[in-house]
Chains A and B, each alone.
Chain A
Amino acid sequence: MKIKNNIAISENGFVFNPASGESFTTNQVGLEMLNLLRKGTDKEIIIADLTEKYDADAGVIERDFNDFSEMLKQYHIHQHEES
């Protein structure tokens, strides 16, 4: 999944979509996921990174990542695969 290029993400986790005018806030983990997605990092690497950083269960991180990805799709933050 890729994040649209025009999405503005502040260092505090404030996310603004300039195309729709919608804004959201995310927590620290969400912010890290967003920043990694924006860099084009693969899902597996993101999960491995966060599992190590937070000393958490990889299954839990993967579930959170999937939930978060769904939310990004709902809010049209993600880039369509074809674009």
Chain B
Amino acid sequence: MKNPKPQLTIAVTGLNAIDSPGPGVAVIRALREAESFDCRIIGLAYESLEPGIYMHDIVEKTYHIPYPTAGTETLLNRLKFIQEKEKIDVVIPNFDAELYSFIKLKTALEQIGIRSFLPTMDQFEERQKINLPEFGKTYGINVPKSKAIYTPADIGKLESDYNWPLVIKGKYYDATLAYTRDQAVSAYHKISAKWGLPIIVQQFVHGTEYNVAGLGDGAGNTIAAVPMRKQYITDKGKAWGGISITDDKALALTKHFLETTKWRGAFELELMKDKAGEYFLLEINPRIPAWIYLAVGVGQNIPEALTRLALGMPTSPFTTYEAGKMFIRYAWDMIVNLSEFEQISTTGEL
């Protein structure tokens, strides 16, 4: 008789789905399709209107968790409470802004039985947008010129070294293309009001944008890597449709990134290929991207492999995937009873 598949309880964040959606729902779909285990999903939500909370066919139970600003101790206490009831095996955090807390709590969470597979604090810090120029220099990776600024007056000082347009970026999220100093100053105020300082000013590179979703084992090996070209882009620059491609240079760059940094965990590389065919690394997102279900669709179930690595299970690298498969995102209106909204809002559980 065949051994039954292990039954795992996996907690997932990022259940929101606005026009810049969280990866949570896509991650859960991937976990549900895992061949090597069955799973029960615990949603971890920050807001009562995150749609994943109400998708009962994919999330068994959801708990509110405190925002990162509340501090790691508050988060740990909440997770301890949840753990007593749910016996979580693995947690997969999916927001940049919460990763610091989860990385910091790694050992404390392991002590209560919750495993994760995240980058180290050093890896997390050195790839921050603010540190990207240094990162490029250290690992021999082309990155566009950029500078962190703390006052709008600094934009004028950059004009002699940079050419318009410039990309004005927030510390964690948001980026705006600015063609003039006025546009740059306006973007500075808008983004800093939302995400704080510094603001990163990056030289815009003309070209075609590619993204790579992948997974490193922390020893320099590539466990998974799927490049995608955005085909339909929202006004926030997010992919609403994309296609898997076989770009050898993008894959070689990904391999180099993993070998040199010994990256541990999932990631997304945002790359720009200029007209000369040269690649620039625009950003490293230290987590699973929202379009991860495409990777599953082409043969690399990255959330499954990440879960296996978190539990110390032997995990072979993926060696192939199917090129020329597309994802097309859509929005779906759910009808929700007020009583459910009331329950998650008042008790913090649903």
- Near A by CB (< 8 A), chain B positions 214-263 give 228-229, 231, 242-248
The segment out of A15-23, A25-33, A41-49, A55-63 that lies at the interface is: A15-23
B243 touches A21 (CB 8 A): yes
Closest to A21 in B: B229
Q: Does B141 contact A (CB under 8 A)?
A: no
Tell me if B113 is interfacial: C-beta within 8 Å of chain A.
no
Task: Count chain A residues whose beta carbon lies closer than 8 angstroms to a beta carbon of B.
Answer: 8
A22 to B, closest residue via Cβ: B229
Q: Which residues of B contact A12 (CB under 8 A)?
A: none
Q: Name B227's closest neighbour in chain A (CB-CB).
A: A21
Tell me whether chain A's interface is mostly helix, strand or loop, or mixed.
loop
CB distance from B33 to the nearest CB of A (A): 24
A19 touches B246 (CB 8 A): yes
Q: Output the least CB separation between B243 and chain A (Å).
A: 5
- Tell me whether A71 is interfacial, beta carbon within 8 Å: no
Q: Is A6's CB within 8 Å of the partner chain B?
A: yes
Name B's A-contacting residues (CB within 8 A): 208, 210, 228-229, 231, 242-248, 323-324
Could you give 17 example pairs across A and B, Cβ below 8 Å? Answer: A6-B246, A8-B324, A16-B324, A18-B245, A18-B324, A19-B245, A19-B248, A20-B208, A20-B229, A20-B247, A21-B228, A21-B229, A21-B231, A21-B242, A21-B243, A21-B245, A22-B229
Which residue of the partner chain B has the closest CB to A6?
Answer: B246
Residues of B within 8 A of A18 (CB): 245-246, 323-324
Residue from A8, A16, A19 in contact with B247 in the complex, judged by beta carbons closer than 8 Å: A19
Beyond the given pairs A6-B246, A21-B231, 12 more chain A to chain B contacts, judged by CB atoms under 8 angstroms and listed by A's residue number, are: A16-B324, A18-B245, A18-B246, A18-B324, A19-B246, A20-B208, A20-B247, A21-B210, A21-B229, A21-B242, A21-B243, A21-B244
Q: Roughly how many angstroms separate A21 CA and B244 CA in the complex, as a whole number?
A: 7
CB distance from A75 to the nearest CB of B (A): 12
Q: Roughly how many angstroms separate A8 CA and B323 CA in the complex, as a whole number?
A: 10
Residues of B within 8 A of A22 (CB): 229
CA distance A67 to B244 in the complex (A): 30
Q: What distance in Å separates the Cβ of B290 from its nearest Cβ neighbour in chain A?
A: 18
Rounded to whole Å, the gap between the CB of A66 and the closest CB of chain B is 23
Q: What is the minimal beta-carbon distance from A65 to any residue of chain B, in angstroms?
A: 26
- Max chain B C-beta neighbours (<10 A), residue from A6, A18, A22: A18
Q: How far is the CB of B295 from chain A (nearest CB, A)?
A: 15
Chain A nearest Cβ from B251, distance in angstroms: 10
Residues of A within 8 A of B231 (CB): 21
3 tightest Cβ-Cβ pairs between the two chains A and B: A21-B229, A18-B323, A21-B245
Give A52 to B245 CA distance when docked, in angstroms.
38
* Contact indicator B324/A20 (Cβ below 8 Å): no
Q: Name, among A6, A18, A21, the residue most crowded by chain B CB atoms within 10 Å (CB to CB).
A: A21
Of chain A, the residue at the smallest CB distance from B230 is: A21
Q: In the bound complex, how far is the Cα of B235 from the Cα of A66, in angstroms?
A: 39
Q: Closest residue of chain A to B210, judged by CB?
A: A21
**Residues of B contacting A19 in the complex (Cβ-Cβ under 8 angstroms):** 245-248
Which A residue sits closest to B326, measured CB to CB?
Answer: A21
Give min CB distance, A22 to chain B, whole Å.
8
Within the complex, what minimum Cβ distance (angstroms) separates A55 from chain B? 37
CB distance from B291 to the nearest CB of A (A): 13
Q: How far is the CA of A21 from the CA of B326 in the complex (A)?
A: 10
- In angstroms, how far is the closest chain B Cβ from the Cβ of A9? 12
Instruction: State the Cβ distance, B324 to closest chain A Cβ, in Å.
Output: 5
**Beta-carbon nearest neighbor of A19 in chain B:** B247
CB distance from B96 to the nearest CB of A (A): 26
Which A residues touch B246, using CB under 8 A?
6, 18-19
Name the residue of chain A whose CB is nearest to the CB of B247: A19
